[in-house]
Amino acid sequence: MTKLAQFAVRPTPDDPRLSVAVEGIDHDGRAIVTPVVTERPLTLFLNAREIVTMMTIGDHPDLLAVGYLLNQNMLRADDEITAIDYEPEIETIVVRTARQTDYEDKLKKKIQTSGCAQGTVFGDLMQEFDRIELSPAARIRTSWLYQLTRKINTEPSLYLKAGAIHGCVLCEEDRPLVYMEDVGRHNAVDKIAGYMLVNNVPAHDKIFYTTGRLTSEMVIKTVKMGIPILVSRSGFTAWGVELARKTGLTLIGRARGKRFVALSGAERIVFDADLARVDDEDSKHRRKSSVPDAEH
């Protein structure tokens, strides 16, 4: 495939559909107008079966739908998608496949809210997870890491405009390729998974960046996509670390300015950056990062 350009997909913070101006008061009692991200339901059907209703900002519904089905193991990489029908008036999307699957029967109707822990994972997904092998040849140079964090943190985004949103970025070397945002990190991940499937993007040499915590769900989805390196500006959970070590995923957290911590897969890290030439994180982003991990 053609090599992806830097920020082939980037956030669109000025899209009027993704945020609204809301009046309020500040800590001094002064009247203010502040941007607030939108949140709307999207009901997903796989062929004729209703699967889930997700809360989302509403962009890239086709990629979100495909990525969700793929990451939940309801859609296989070799499945032929014959149509994706999106009806914005009734907030519904239907993914149609040539092969009728049986995965629909594993679900009862469920609302997937914007809460961080609401992504769903099935036992058969965990069985597949145990069989995945990540590329041992993949590398991340510290010079790439510092370039990536700088480029991502300074890219105009809903995160910088309004907060209350997660960002996930597919990267290659020091280039951010696909930057997705949503109210739930699982949605942002699924949009990238959908993009990779639809555009036949290989995973073995990629780096995945997220603004959110390195939880078990983030590790599972990254491994499921076949990406060998996961980076976050936020912290870890113990189960996330355990699963990363089990699969050999390189897990890098608290990546801010010159600093980072690696708790798994350190053999993929090449320390080539001169720290004396690396800038500390801009105060604007330190202010954002002062929010507790539970908010990210």
pLDDT tens-digit readout, 236-261: 999 999 999 999 999 999 999 999 99
Q: Tell whether 62 is covered by a domain.
A: no
The pLDDT value recorded for residue 196 is 97
Q: Tell whether 120 is covered by a domain.
A: no
Q: At what angle do helices 185-198 and 61-71 cross, to 10 degrees?
A: 90
Handedness of CA 129, 196, 46, 78 (dihedral sign): negative
pLDDT grade, residue 182 (50/70/90)? Answer: very high
pLDDT grade, residue 296 (50/70/90)? Answer: very low
Please report, for the domain that includes residue 204, its CATH number.
Answer: 3.40.140.10
The pLDDT value recorded for residue 73 is 83
Checking if the pLDDT of 122 tops 80, the result is no
Q: Tell whether 72 is covered by a domain.
A: no
Q: Tell whether 244 is covered by a domain.
A: yes
Euclidean distance between CA atoms 22 and 43, whole angstroms: 27
Q: Tell whether 279 is covered by a domain.
A: yes
Checking if the pLDDT of 110 tops 60, the result is no
pLDDT tens-digit readout, 187-240: 999 999 999 999 999 999 999 999 999 999 899 999 999 999 999 999 999 999
132 CB-near residues (< 8 Å, 6+ apart): 223, 224, 226, 247
Residues 89 and 62: beta-carbon distance below 8 Å: no
Euclidean distance between CA atoms 217 and 219, whole angstroms: 5
pLDDT grade, residue 102 (50/70/90)? Answer: low
127 CB-near residues (< 8 Å, 6+ apart): none
**What is the domain extent for residue 244?**
140-295
For residue 287, the 8-state DSSP code is: H
- Domain count of the chain? 1
For residue 236, the 8-state DSSP code is: B
pLDDT, average across residues 18-27: 97
Q: Cα angle vertex 186, ends 148, 292, to 5°?
A: 70
The pLDDT value recorded for residue 284 is 54
Average pLDDT, rounded, for the chain = 88
Checking if the pLDDT of 42 tops 90, the result is yes
263 CB-near residues (< 8 Å, 6+ apart): 236, 241, 244, 245, 251, 253
Q: Tell whether 107 is covered by a domain.
A: no
Q: Tell whether 64 is covered by a domain.
A: no
Checking if the pLDDT of 139 tops 70, the result is yes
Euclidean distance between CA atoms 184 and 286, whole angstroms: 22
The pLDDT value recorded for residue 114 is 45
The pLDDT value recorded for residue 282 is 64
